């Protein structure tokens, strides 16, 4: 595909392709060069950051990022326990993925799983004292990874606005997901 408009923004050279007209689909306004840079950077982050944070956690604490997220969510819950469905939702994981992770964590003594006494249909996951110890051990590695890979690279004067903007997008997307479920 040939480049219709080429622009140099910052240190990157971007090609704005001619707009494609799709029958029956609204033709949105093309992204501005600034929007294009932001969007592409965000997509690179969504692909690379989770893998790097995961690698850091495995190397430093012997937990995957998903395992850390599970025990972190349990540590913040009342009585350090959650229904499995609520845990999956809090962790942003599928029910089946959450079940596999909890089963693995249970086999290592970090989490206990049992039937709910409130309703016999659901299971509860509960963080054990050994799991809380593991979380306390892993937390400094998590914070160091987040700081070195992300926070230390954002100018301090822009962090609050960036956080507000991303929070607004996340809240809207979560609302859309809940509204369609």
User: Does the pLDDT value for residue 18 go beyond 80?
Assistant: no
Return the pLDDT at 65: 95
Domain that includes residue 92, residue range? 64-146
Looking at residue 108, which CATH number applies to its domain?
A: 1.10.10.10
pLDDT (average), residues 160-173: 93
Return the pLDDT at 175: 83
Mind giving me the DSSP string for 51-114?
HHHHHHHHHHHS--HHHHHHHHHHHHSGGGEEEHHHHHHHHT--HHHHHHHHHHHHHTTSEEEE
User: Does the pLDDT value for residue 3 go beyond 50?
Assistant: no
pLDDT (average), residues 53-72: 97
Q: What is the domain count for the chain?
A: 1
Q: Model confidence over 101-157: pLDDT tens digits? A: 999 999 999 999 998 888 778 899 999 999 999 999 999 999 999 999 999 999 989
Domain assignment present for residue 3? The answer is no
Domain assignment present for residue 110? The answer is yes
Domain assignment present for residue 6? The answer is no
Does pTM top 0.85 for this prediction? no
């Amino acid at each position: 595909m040939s480049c219709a408009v080429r622009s140099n923004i910052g240190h990157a050279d971007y090609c704005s392709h001619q707009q494609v007209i799709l029958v029956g689909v609204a033709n949105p306004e093309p992204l501005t060069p600034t929007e294009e840079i932001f969007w592409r950077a965000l997509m690179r982050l969504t692909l690379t950051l989770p893998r790097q944070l995961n690698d850091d956690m495995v190397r430093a604490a012997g937990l995957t990022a998903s395992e850390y997220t599970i025990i972190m969510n349990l540590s913040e819950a009342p009585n350090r326990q959650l229904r499995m469905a609520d845990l999956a939702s809090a962790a942003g994981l599928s029910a089946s993925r959450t079940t596999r992770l909890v089963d693995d964590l249970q086999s290592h003594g970090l989490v206990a799983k049992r039937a709910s006494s409130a309703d016999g249909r659901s299971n509860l996951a509960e963080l054990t004292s050994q799991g809380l110890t593991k979380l306390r051990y892993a937390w400094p590695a998590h914070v160091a990874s987040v700081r070195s890979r992300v926070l230390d690279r954002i100018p301090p004067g822009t962090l609050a606005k960036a956080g507000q903007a991303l929070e607004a997008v996340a809240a809207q997307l979560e609302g859309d997901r809940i509204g369609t479920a």
